[in-house]
Amino acid sequence: MLSGLFSRSAASAADFSHQEQASVEFRDVVKSYGDHHVLKGINLSITPGEVVAILGPSGSGKSTLIRLINQLETLNGGEILIDNKPTGQLTGAALRKLRSRVGFVFQQFNLYAHLTASQNITLALEHVHGWKPQPAEERALELLNNVGMLEKAHHFPAELSGGQQQRVAIARALASSPQIILFDEPTSALDPEMIGEVLFVMKTLAHSGITMIVVTHEMQFAREIADRIVFIDGGQILETAPPEQFFTQPVHPRAQRFLQKVLNPLHQEHL
């Protein structure tokens, strides 16, 4: 079924190619809410163009980790660098410039209900990035074509399935040609039959040159597309490894228990 998804748009890595790349580095990153420490001294370097999957149980700090990159959450300690430049104290125009370099795809799509698919993309291009209406519309249609949604360009979110809405959200995240794109469990709000079409788009985007950081519960997908797995629990990175090594020979006992549970749902041991 998925083989026909792109029959009209023929998406390929070339459709999403990015000439510029960016690195991301976490240095002793700390995040807490009152007395609750969500992240405890995270150190992690992500190379330009790398695809990293962040795995771990619910409540481990995965989503917070990526939300700190474009300041959807604020740091309590440490620093995050993009291309070796600190970003934690950016405000105003400098912060807007950072966010134009970092696309974000949310769990719940976050599309504007009163705007069509194409208008959801052109809005930021025109009002944040200063594009004229015609080039913005052309860019929106190009991106919708790339994610197999050109025929739905003038439909409103309520007229689209969950999978279609998430593909529009991916197109919107790519509108400003970001060097980094963050995915926060992008399939968690979808019905099982809708998941495949979103993962197909993400798989096409992977290794196109853009740096991808993906928080996901889709284990097989992470194994197929990631260059590296980062396993987090209790606000700490417990293991990093290439996918095949992580899924076949995890080193940390906590990672072993996690995989035993998620790869064998009938296993009753608590996470």
Using DSSP, state whether 1 is helix, strand or coil. Answer: coil
Low-confidence ranges of the chain (pLDDT < 50): 1-14, 19, 267-271
- Do 234 and 222 meet the contact criterion of CB atoms below 8 Å apart? no
- Do 230 and 240 meet the contact criterion of CB atoms below 8 Å apart? yes
- Do 113 and 157 meet the contact criterion of CB atoms below 8 Å apart? yes
In a domain, 189, yes or no: yes
Quote the strand ranges of the chain, DSSP E.
Answer: 24-33, 36-46, 51-55, 77-82, 85-86, 102-105, 180-184, 211-215, 228-233, 236-241
In a domain, 54, yes or no: yes
Question: Residues for the chain: how many in total?
Answer: 271
Residue 246: is it exposed, middle or buried by C-beta count within 10 angstroms (0-12/13-18/19+)?
buried
CA 120 – CA 189 distance, rounded (Å): 19
In a domain, 169, yes or no: no
Domain count, the chain: 1
pLDDT in tens, 130-140: 999 999 999 99
In a domain, 161, yes or no: no
pLDDT in tens, 188-239: 989 888 899 999 999 999 988 899 999 999 999 999 999 999 999 999 999 9
Residue numbers of the domain that contains 247: 2-115+178-262
| Number of alpha carbons in the 13 Å side-chain half-sphere of residue 255 | 22
**Entry pTM:** 0.89
CATH code for the domain in which residue 241 is found: 3.40.50.300
In a domain, 139, yes or no: no
In a domain, 236, yes or no: yes
Please tell me the predicted confidence (pLDDT) of residue 207.
83
In a domain, 127, yes or no: no
In a domain, 44, yes or no: yes
